[in-house]
Structure 1
């Protein structure tokens, strides 16, 4: 029953683009962080961070569903990860005996500090149609957005709360 529920949750998560969000009513989210030194010296340019590749984004998703990776490591790879530790533990436990989950990530697009890519999720129960997932640039690292994290958590019956 647990496996069937997990696959139903997976299908719902993959088909849903709605979820938890830290965006304000305009739909924009501020993911920038500046140090006092950066603020004081506005003429100093920070070199741009390279856009993420589809392989890098796929690896970040695989890490989230890996049963042998602890929640703290997973939390470091997602926006608001520390707030999701309990959810990540619950998802890891729920997916422990579920079987292989893989992701096929299309070439991402980047707009400012947000990267979006269509992602197809394959499980032992089938493959869901691709749905857009987002990553945000936080302190020079691309992290899965909170809204996309909520969709992944739903796969493992650990919804955002």
Structure 2
């Protein structure tokens, strides 16, 4: 019960912080705030041609919190994932008996090699208000940005330092 309560408290705090993030954790965070849905791309870039789907983004977040997936597999889905291995192991252990965590991901906007989407996280304790999450295009694959991964890790009692 203590882990569940702590996770919900951290989830709320992390999600509020995500909305107020200064973007210091990742160069990609500052870019995401500039993305708007009213901008029309003037040229087609590789990122625009391979924009991630809502399903792909949802699956990438679910993978990060999956209790039955090893840290190395999770790290491969995250920007700077190798640097977060210990955090991923700690979070996976903390969430082992937590219950199902699901994500409601809105349609992403893509600007260059950064995709941004509002995400609501539902846990056994409730659903948090949607907050922006980002993904970055690395070697042709969309990966959870370091900043968004750190938000999830903080919620799972394994904050980035």
Which structure's residues are more often helix, by fraction?
A: 2
The TM-score bracket by the shorter chain reads: 0.7 to 0.9
Which one has a bigger Cα radius of gyration? 1
CA shift, 1:28, in A, is 5.3
Q: Name stretches of at least 5 consecutive residues in structure 1 with no aligned partner.
A: 30-45
Determine if the alignment matches structure 1 residue 16 to structure 2 residue 20: no
1:41-56, aligned counterparts within 5 Å? Answer: 49-56=49-56
Shift in Å at residue 27 of structure 1?
3.7
2:153 alignment partner in structure 1: 153
Measured after TM superposition, the shift of residue 155 of structure 1 is: 1.1
TM-score, normalised to structure 1, is: 0.83
Which residue is equivalent to 2:119?
A: 119
Task: Describe the SS at the equivalent of 1:133.
Answer: strand
Q: In 1, Cα distance between the equivalents of 2:12 and 2:95?
A: 14
Q: 1:72-83 maps to which residues of 2 (within 5 A)?
A: 72-83=72-83
Query: 1:5 & 1:129 partners in 2: Cα distance?
Result: 18
> What CA distance in whole angstroms lies between the structure 2 residues aligned with 1:148 and 1:47?
23
1 CA distance for matches of 2:83 and 2:71?
A: 11
- Whether the aligned pair in 2 keeps the contact of 1:20 and 1:160 (CA below 8 Å) is no
Partners of 1:153 and 1:137 in 2: CA distance: 21
Return the alpha-carbon distance in structure 1 between the equivalents of residues 24 and 55 of structure 2.
25
- In the alignment, which residue of structure 1 is the partner of 2:35? none
Equivalent residue number for residue 131 of structure 2? 131
Deviates more, 1:46-55 or 1:86-95: 46-55
- In structure 1, distance between residues paired with 2:90 and 2:124: 20
Structure-2 residue corresponding to 1:2? 3
Regions of 4+ moved over 6 Å: none
